[in-house]
Chains A and B, each alone.
Chain A
Amino acid sequence: MGAYIVGGAVAKVDRHFDRGYRDLAYEVTKECSGCLDVDYIVVSSALPELTAHQVDLGTHIAQWLGRRVPVIRVESGETSGLAAVDLAASLVASGRGRKVLVLGVEKVTDYPTYTANYFYSLMLDYEFEVLRGVSPPAYAALAMKELMKDGVRRECFSSWAVRMHENAASIPHAMLRFKISYDSFKDSQVLAEPLTLHDSFALGDGAAAVVVSNSPDPKASSVEILFSAAEVELPAYSRERISDLNASSKLLKLSLERYGLDLRRVAVELHDSYTPYPIAILRSLGYLDSECNLSELEYLNVSGGLKARGHPIGATGIYQVYEVFKLLTDKLGGKTSPSDYGLVHSMSGPDNVSRVLILRR
């Protein structure tokens, strides 16, 4: 493809009451050498109009960073990050840019949780879902129930979250770095039966940057952007089952087959907004049976995933790309990828749109 990731940095996912969009953008680009030595900026952010009353965030960030270069703000729901990387790769591959700063940034904690929940829910169809009382946890709960009817035990979903928290304990930039147990679910607040808070992503502010270049960096480790794909799925209510996350399953299957990859031996970041979703996807790919044994998937969501590393919505995809980049070129959570390949997966809502990125060291 002719596009390479040559560097990056991330901020801790947290409630950064003392920092706004621009502050987070500045902070993360300061950490990343080469982040500001670019001729194009792509900003990935899903909610600035709602949480910060700011339209054209990309331009305002460019002004704030003192980099008056071409800038585009990308939004594609929860898949904004991968969409932004896809755009950046296209820009360098086409020669429109030489080095592109891809900056994911999101503020979600400036309003009370119920308001943030509402903004997040706008990922769904406002007229036919939101206004009719259908929320993201409702869909995740319905998906969970479908899977439970198939014989998947409640403990299977819980085990995902337990594993994510275990992983995040070794990740400095993760939001939730404490372990949880199966018992934690007993007292956990119900969002929509049987889905609990412990089955849901951690919502926090964040900023993450990666630099996409038209050539590898001769002085530092780089990773090639090998493949990028996306697909739009049917509205959830039109499917045979809510848990038919066919866009994600299809893209992942296609990607794994194309490069002859085994999920157990590659670095993978899978979008786990709610525990039923990654379980559904892994089952459909044949990596999870009724025993629900995750132990073989050692390099899956080393970051702790959306569950524990956190989900700063529009920035999340950039976090995921950075984390796989680190696994391929260095270490993350004490681990290094056994394979030259890394895979990043993102989806918005109940798989309304799915994106996949394949990186190679």
Chain B
Amino acid sequence: MKLSPAQIWRIRESQYRLVITVCESCGKKSAFKRSVCPFCGSGNVKHMESEGLGRVLEVTKVLYRWASSDERPPSLVAVVELDEGVKVVGEIVGVGTDEEVKEGTRVEAVLRRYASDDPYGVIYYGIKFKPLKTA
């Protein structure tokens, strides 16, 4: 068993629902559900769910093979700035071969498989990004 069922379960909120941490002390926002603001170190934080919309700041096509549970190169990894003003790094999916994802491409958050402990272990789901096609 490679993926821990308990670990996957424990972090699902951040991954399923693109939770953002908002610091009540310095006002900055950071990605994922945190106990402490990574910028100022304050424990005075609250959490919110991102609407899931944002734009690509930078993207790279990854061919690196690293036997992570669901390796499927090539993959597109990008820095996405959510409309809430938070940066995350994640995969861009649902892209056609002739289509270009680049700085400024609008994206929406979609639930996808991150990893799958095949053939008998758990499946780990989480948010990736897809180019926003419809209104």
Chain A residues packing against B (C-beta within 8 Å):
112-115, 117-118, 121, 127-135, 137-139, 141-142, 145-146, 189-195, 234-239, 242
29 contacts between A and B (CB under 8 A): A112-B67, A114-B65, A114-B71, A115-B67, A117-B64, A118-B66, A118-B68, A129-B89, A131-B115, A131-B126, A132-B15, A132-B89, A132-B90, A132-B91, A133-B62, A137-B64, A138-B62, A142-B77, A146-B58, A191-B62, A192-B63, A193-B62, A193-B63, A234-B38, A238-B30, A238-B39, A238-B87, A239-B87, A242-B79
Closest residue of B by beta carbon distance from A191: B64
B7 proximity list for chain A (CB < 8 A): 127
A128, A132, A195 interface centre (most CB from chain B within 10 Å) = A132
Where chain A touches its partner, the secondary structure class is helix
Q: With A121-B68, A127-B11, A133-B75 as given contacts, are A234 and B39 in contact (CB-CB < 8 Å)? A: yes
Q: Which residue of A lies closest to B69 (CB)?
A: A131
Q: State the B residues within 8 Å of A (CB).
A: 7, 11, 14-15, 30-32, 38-39, 58-68, 71, 75, 77-79, 87-91, 114-115, 124, 126, 128
Measured between alpha carbons, how far is A114 from B69 in the docked complex, in Å? 12
Give the chain A neighbours of B59 by CB distance below 8 A: 142
Q: Please indicate the chain A residues that have their CB under 8 angstroms from the CB of B39 in the complex.
A: 234, 238
Interchain nearest-CB distance for A194 vs B (Å): 8
Do A128 and B79 touch (CB < 8 A)?
A: no
B67 near A118: Cβ-Cβ < 8 Å: yes
Nearest 9 pairs between A and B by C-beta?
Answer: A141-B60, A117-B66, A138-B77, A192-B62, A237-B89, A114-B67, A114-B65, A133-B91, A118-B66
Chain B residue numbers with a CB within 8 Å of A133 are 62, 68, 75, 77, 90-91, 114, 128
Complex Cα distance A127/B9, Å? 11
Residues of A within 8 A of B68 (CB): 118, 121, 130-131, 133, 135
Shortest Cβ distance from residue B68 to the other chain A in the assembled complex, whole angstroms: 6
